[in-house]
Structure 1
Amino acid sequence: MDETDVLHAAAVLQPSIDEIHQLSNDLNLKCTAEEEQAFYEHYKGVLKSYQTVYELPDPQLPVKYPRVPGHREKHDNAWYWRCDIKGADTGLLAGKTVAVKDSIAVAGVPMMHGTKLLEGYTPEFDATVVTRVLDAGGRIVGKAACDDMCLSGGSWSSSTGPIVNPRDSTKDAGGSSSGCVSLVARGLVDMAIGADQGGSIRTPASYCGIVGMKPTYGLIPYTGAMGGAVTIDHLGPMTRTVEDCALLLEALAGFDDDKDPRQRPIDSIPPYSKLFNKSVSGRTVGVLSEGFQGVDEHVSKCVRDKLSKLSDAGVILKDISIPLHCVGTDIFVPITVEGSHACGALGYGSGYLWKGYYPVSLQEAMARGSTLRPYDLPINLKMRRILGEYIRRNYQNKFYARSQNLVPVLKKAYDDALKEVDVLVMPTLSKTAGDLPTTGSTAKERLQACMEISNNLASFDATGHPALSLNAGNSDQTGLPVGIQVVGRLHDDLSVLQMAYAIEQAP
């Protein structure tokens, strides 16, 4: 029997006259009966195209390495799923164990994205970063749990349970790459791949005292990962040392053959792993004054004490002011609220209107969950859904558009400052890790525990500048880790790594 003889189910059912009439009323189009009849006949031809698309084979991302799919880890909330996938015998990451945030697809391994809406889904494809880890000789040993739909700065909202801070089990580990930070900080894996759409790599890195890097926007391909909002999506390394951060960045970076609209063609990737430890003597660090505004005094002191030791390495410290930094989060908020609503609630994890690879099975799974179980979302996502839909219905996308128009203005302010200095530095966050909510916490307290957002984080997701958080030491007040953030010029991730290494090596 020829393939053309196979009976295919209808991809899209022909809308009836009654359905067309109802849609006309819902959209306030006031169509006549004659118009509705004409539409009914016209749609017969249009839907043939949908049938053709349905019957053509869907191109897939490659799956190159055999694997043991593994099992659900129920004794450690930092893991979502344990697996074992051995990569190439040699390469940059040979001998390294790697955890992958559960917003990133690994073929044959369940993916939950922290949310009950996606429970039961298993992708049939590997995200590009997964293939790159394996090509570089890394061994993927599991999926790290993450906060629900990766839209939380705290570590309590994952549907599989809260993730505690390795330094103090009553404290927040930071989100949404909460499982990644716990596994790396405890030495259960050598490195992890996190995602950052508003600080989701750097917040947990700061709270738990590890290295977390949000590279230049588009440097690492996002192909095969669950989108949050296409203009602020970043993947990046989470490691215990700057050296391992440079290794993982080098393995992951590079153009992905037009699969990811966040990228532009990249001629070459610097050998970060060979150059990260280059001397920084004579370089200038801009200490961003606005980056210290609203920061707890014990956090500022820890960061400034660490910076003072850079002069021994020949670094020149220069106070610098960027007034627009103070409204960076205000510019960012409509982009994340409306962008994530369009991508998640309306676009089922991928959204619309961009060229690249769309993971169809992931979209279908999200559509089922979003339709059947939206009430399973945690309080912070219910809040965002209501706000996103309210803005869409009443103000359309004009504030999103204004924010996007302001991003180049914010970007230029940083670019101008970075003409005077090699990198900018500031505290990663204004405070050390707070308490995790408990069963007795109020709705307001639970909501607040998700809203860890800072100008020092979100601004650089909007502009795309590379930003790395590493440990500046422990607070003399709380005894918990304090993060120091290094921000560099666009596409100069190497200078960020080099200055971070100098800070790491300072006594």
Structure 2
Amino acid sequence: MSVVRLPEKISFTREQLQKTANVFNVNVPEKDVEAYRILLSGLEEAAKTIAGEEDYVPPLDLIRFPRKLVHKPETNEYNAWAYKVTIKSTSDADARGLLAGKTVAIKDNICIGKVPSLLGTDVIPEGGFVPQYDATVVTRVLTAGATVLGKGACENFSMSPTSFTNAYGFVQNPFAAGYNAGGSSSGCAALVAGGLVDMAVGGDQGGSIRVPASYCGLVGLKPTYGLVPYTGIASLAAIVDHTGPMTKTVMDNALMLTAMAGADGYDDRQIGLPTPIPCYLDELTKFKGDPKQAAKGFRIGLIMESFDMPGLDPRVIAKVKEAAKALQTLGVGISVEEISVPMHAKAPAIWTIATRQGFSEHGLCGQNPVRFGVHDTALNISLSKWDQEKFDKLASRNPAGTNALLGGQFIKDSYPGLTDKAINLGRKLKDEYNAVLEKYDVLITPCTPSPANYTSKLEDDIMTKMSKAIGTTINTAPFNISGNPAMSLPIAMMSPHEDESLKLPVGMQIVGKSFGELDIYKVAYAWEQSFDWKSF
């Protein structure tokens, strides 16, 4: 590595040099101290030059997309709003777009310029950080004619499949107060399911779109890795970052994905995108007159290992199998077969090790030095130093976050190279899924192990809080590390064990080939239009 220029004066002290060297458990030989002081003083001069420059972010068009009524709501249905705002394009062309007339909520880890992002946490400075630009997905839904009504509350740092870790209030399931709405896109799910918006943009690193969709009776799609740009969204670990649509119907989901998909020129996750991107809406609309024809002749595989995961409610296993096999009754040549993907049983462990160091260093400490794209500098600075107060705040609300913080450092220190190996095994896992997807159009698994459980309490101890989340993403997280598209489709209502008089939604997960969203939509549409999930 070259040195651009030598410093005008030596500013780097001997003490700074030794402190820096101590991080690596080394001592700089005395004969070399002055040389390093000179070289590092040159680096410090460059650092001060950059620190004095104005940051770059994508331009924010407040004329075309004006912000109105930015505020924290005084009354908050289901505790689902983080911030309210009204944004609608002033362009006549946008008003005729795909999403014209639709109202949208945006997950609170997604940047809306001039609107605070709380990230569900009180660890960052009070009031969150205020982005100065819109995430690509926000610009795209506005350009498509939608009206953005605000930010859906999310779980604390988006690190929970439950809906009771947000520092500003537990998000409630619209089907039953006090019950879990799922996470981490909890507010988005509650807002759509409760009829307060038509659709929402969620985020998913281990199931954070599909879990709340399953618990709240929604269609929630985690697209293929990179299909929808992640620009302007707080990251947990870049290898599993996904964003996608949450809607009440399959057709609305296809509509929304059509508006959001495609390269944006910023996000380096967008590798190997198909050209052109399919118009999912047009392709699905062809079957509006006879929906079952959408899946004509499809071969569908039930991953048997997914039904044998620990902690699955036997009633969920039976209902998902029944729902899948019901497709064979549509009379259009659909076959449903039980298949084996042995590595699926190890996939949760692969996801855990592949992501834990990234969650710790990247998601919680803001260390993101090797990524292209747009960096949220102010957020990363606020996360760069942890102290006891921050740790205690996070632990009291979301021990999954502090567990990730500690666990990532533990893996780094005790198992060097293991994260790299797990990422490599994620590629092997993808190969195994793709091998069976050469024979089958889509694969099916249970989404969540059970219907929603009752929420925790702030005063509960760590293990009581964690017990509500353990195993929830056992069948969803594998497809984050493999990158395959996966959807939760509501297929039944079921009683939670605490209250046999209550009925809550249950989702079935449909998985496709990379960039095979259209096949998922076809199967989901055929099922949705042929059966009533609330009485199935």
Q: TM-score range by the shorter chain?
A: over 0.9
- Per mean C-alpha deviation after superposition, the further-off stretch among 252-261 and 79-88 is 252-261
**Deviation sequence 1:188-211 (CA, Å, 0-9, x none):** 000000000000110111111111
1:297 pairs with 301, 314, 323, which one? 314
Given that 2:115 and 2:131 are in contact with CA atoms closer than 8 Å, whether structure 1 keeps it comes out as yes
The AA in structure 2 aligned to 1:298 is: R
1:149-206 per-residue CA deviation (whole Å, 9 max, x = no partner) reads 0011111001111111111112211100000100000010000000000001101111
Which of 230, 235, 242 is 1:227 aligned to?
235
**Is the Cα contact below 8 Å between 1:345 and 1:370 reproduced in 2?**
no
Determine if the alignment matches structure 1 residue 464 to structure 2 residue 488.
no
- Counterpart of 1:108, as a letter, is K
- Post-superposition offset of 1:262: 4.2
- CA deviations 1:52-91 (Å, max 9, x no partner) are 3334443221222111151112432110000000023220
Identify the residue that residue 195 of structure 1 maps to in structure 2.
Answer: 203
Is contact 2:274-2:515 (8 Å) kept?
Answer: no
Alpha-carbon distance in 1 for matches of 2:520, 2:506 = 18
1:40 is aligned to: 37
Q: 1:321 to 1:265 in 2, by over 3 A?
A: closer
Residue 484 (structure 1) aligns with: 508
Partner residue of 2:5?
none
Secondary structure of the corresponding residue to residue 481 of structure 1: strand
Asked if 1:310 corresponds to 2:307, the answer is no
After TM superposition, the structure 1 = structure 2 runs for residues 107-186 of structure 1, keeping only pairs within 5 Å, are 107-118=113-124, 119-120=126-127, 121-186=129-194
Aligned with 1:482: secondary structure?
strand
Per the alignment, residue 408 of structure 1 pairs with 427
Give the stretch that moved more between structures: 157-166 or 67-76. 67-76
1:363 is paired with a residue whose SS is helix
Say yes or no: does 1:86 pair with 2:110: no
Match of 1:496 among 485, 495, 520: 520
Q: 1:35 to 1:372 in 2, by over 3 A?
A: farther
| Distance in 2 separating the partners of 1:297 and 1:98 | 36
Q: TM-score, normalised by structure 1?
A: 0.92
Preserved CA contact (<8 Å) 1:338 1:400: yes
1:327-338 alignment runs, 5 A limit: 327-338=346-357
Unaligned ranges ≥5, structure 2: 1-9, 288-293, 532-536
Secondary structure of the corresponding residue to residue 95 of structure 2: coil
C-alpha distance in 2 between matches for 1:372 and 1:446: 20
Question: Amino acid of the residue matched to residue 213 of structure 2?
Answer: A
Select between 270-279 and 247-256 the one with higher mean Cα deviation: 270-279
Name the CA shift for 1:60/1:389 in 2 (closer, same or farther; >3 Å). Answer: same
Q: Does the alignment pair 1:70 with 2:87?
A: no
- Residue 367 of structure 1 aligns to a residue in which SS? coil
Work out the CA distance in 1 between the residues paired with 2:154 and 2:387.
Answer: 18
Is it true that 1:22 corresponds to 2:24 in the alignment? Answer: no
1:285 counterpart letter in structure 2? I
CA distance in 2, matches of 1:494, 1:251: 14
Q: Report what 2:103 is aligned to.
A: 97
CA contact 2:227–2:273 (8 Å) conserved in 1: no
1:354 is matched with which residue? 371
Deviation at 1:456, TM superposition (A): 1.6
**Structure 1 residues 443, 360: closer, same or farther in 2, change over 3 A?**
closer
Counterpart of 1:426 in 2: which secondary structure?
strand
SS of the residue corresponding to residue 96 of structure 2 reads: coil
* 2:88 aligned partner, one-letter code: K
Q: Percent identity?
A: 35
**Unpaired runs of 5+ in structure 1?**
1-12
- How far apart are the structure 2 equivalents of 1:212 and 1:276? 17
> What is the letter of the counterpart of residue 470 of structure 2?
M
Shift of 1:368: 6.3
Secondary structure of the residue aligned to 1:221 is: coil
Partner of 1:441: 460
* Matches of 2:132 and 2:215, distance apart in 1: 34
Cα offset, 1:384, TM superposition: 1.6
Check the 8 A contact 1:127/1:225 in 2, yes or no. Answer: yes
What number of residue pairs does the alignment pair up? Answer: 493
Letter in 1 for 2:191: L
Q: 1:309 to 1:259 in 2, by over 3 A?
A: closer
Contact 1:153 1:452 in 2 (8 A): no
1:394 counterpart letter in structure 2: S
Contact 1:117 1:369 in 2 (8 A): no
Of 382-391 and 50-59, more deviation after overlay is shown by: 50-59
Kindly provide the amino acid, as one letter, of the partner of residue 24 in structure 1: A
The residue identity in structure 1 corresponding to 2:409 is E
**CA-CA distance at 1:297 after TM superposition:** 1.7
What one-letter code is carried by the residue in structure 2 that aligns with 1:172?
N
Q: Deviations 1:21-68 (Å, cap 9, x if unpaired)?
A: 233344322213332222222222222322333344432212221111
The 8 Å contact of residues 174 and 433 in structure 1, kept in 2 or not, is answered as: yes
Per the normalisation by structure 2, the TM-score is: 0.88
Structure 2 letter corresponding to 1:290: E
CA distance in 2, matches of 1:372, 1:481: 38
Larger mean CA deviation between 296-305 and 25-34 belongs to 25-34
Distance across 1 between alignment mates of 2:58 and 2:272: 19
Instruction: Give the counterpart letter for 1:472 in structure 2.
Output: I
Q: How far apart are the structure 2 equivalents of 1:188 and 1:330?
A: 37
1:107–1:122 Cα contact (<8 Å) kept: yes
Alpha-carbon shift at residue 369 of structure 1 (Å) = 7.2
Q: Which piece of structure 1 moves more, 491-500 or 98-107? A: 491-500
Question: Is the CA contact 1:325–1:455 (under 8 Å) kept in the aligned structure 2?
Answer: no
Describe how 1:364-383 pairs up with structure 2 within 5 A: 364-367=381-384, 373-377=390-394, 378-383=398-403
Contact 1:154 1:452 in 2 (8 A): no
CA RMSD of aligned residues (A): 2.1
* Partner secondary structure for residue 70 of structure 1: strand
* Stretch deviating more after TM superposition (87-96 or 101-110): 87-96
More deviation, 353-362/241-250 = 353-362
Deviates more, 1:41-50 or 1:266-275: 41-50
Partner of 2:245: 237
Give the aligned residue type for 1:34: K
Encode CA deviations 1:193-241: one digit per residue, 9 max, x unaligned: 0000000110111111111000000000000000010000000100011
User: Which residue identity lines up with residue 297 of structure 1 in the other structure?
Assistant: P
Q: Is the 8 A contact 1:146 1:176 kept in 2?
A: yes
